Amino acid sequence: MDSASLEKMNRDLIKLTFVQNELGFNHFSFDEEMLQFHYLKEGDQKCIPMAVNQFLSDRNGKLSDDPLRNAQYLFVSIVTTACRYSILGGLPSQDAYGLSDLYIQAADKCSTIDEIHELVERLFTDYVKRIQAVKKQHTYSKPVTQAIEYINRHLHERLTQEDISDAVGLSRTYFSTHFVDEVGMPITEYIRKRKIDTAKGLLTYFDYSILDVAEYLGYSSDSHFSSTFKKETGMSPREYRERYSDVYGQ
């Protein structure tokens, strides 16, 4: 984009911001918008009515002067984000991308805004059911299930065996042995693998810096994160991103 085009875009942005402020228009905050996708990633059905309500809200941006096309554009942006978060939730990437393509094709064929609204609910319901099925592939005892859920909710923290055994109400020694018997690995190894799996998704499908990923996952430093990541995958975080983000078209 040349300097003249950039200058025009800047002028248009200033004008749009001024008009929106005058009209009292406010977009959803980043946290408000992303909450539905965090629930989706966990296979939580709360994301379904949340997604529908947000889609129907007048706080969405104007993407086209044509109302139907505006709804279709907005739907595409939702599908794109939902697809990435479903992969982070455990859905195989081939399935996630295939569903994304199919739902966008369906939206392209819609002739009314109401059809798009119905498609939003169908999209989130579909992804949630698939993510739930993936998460139920392994059936563990209640304490181990609770521990895994606790780990998934606290991946951004520095987790200890004491924290987890306290959360499930069992002694550290007993629970550690119980966890190994069921899962097939020590709880510290499981935590490390879950953090690295999450890091893989963040590096592949998002543009967060390596430092941001390290901090998000509760590592003491980016060097500690990079060292752990390389031991687990055989590649540095940068090498992994360069290889796989190109494959998936980031």
- Which domains, and CATH codes, for the chain? 8-135 (no CATH), 142-247 (1.10.10.60)
CB atoms within 10 A of CB 178: 20
Write out the two tokens for 129: 């059911």
**Residue recorded with tokens 């499930």:** 168
Q: What is the pLDDT of residue 246?
A: 60
Contact 213, 199 (CB under 8 A): yes
Residue in 98, 103, 102, 47 with CA at minimum distance from that of residue 74: 103
Instruction: Write b or e for each residue in 52-84: b if 16 or more Cβ atoms lie within 10 A of its Cβ, otherwise e.
Output: bebbeeeebeeeeeeeeebbbbbbeebbebbbb
Q: Which residues contact 243 (CB under 8 A, 6 or more apart)?
A: 235
Digitized pLDDT (tens) for each residue of the chain, 250 residues in all: 566 676 666 655 555 454 445 444 455 677 888 889 999 999 999 999 999 998 888 777 777 889 999 999 999 999 999 999 998 888 877 788 889 999 999 999 999 999 999 999 999 999 999 999 888 776 788 899 889 888 988 888 889 999 999 999 999 999 999 999 999 999 999 999 999 988 998 898 888 899 999 999 999 899 999 999 999 999 999 999 998 876 544 4
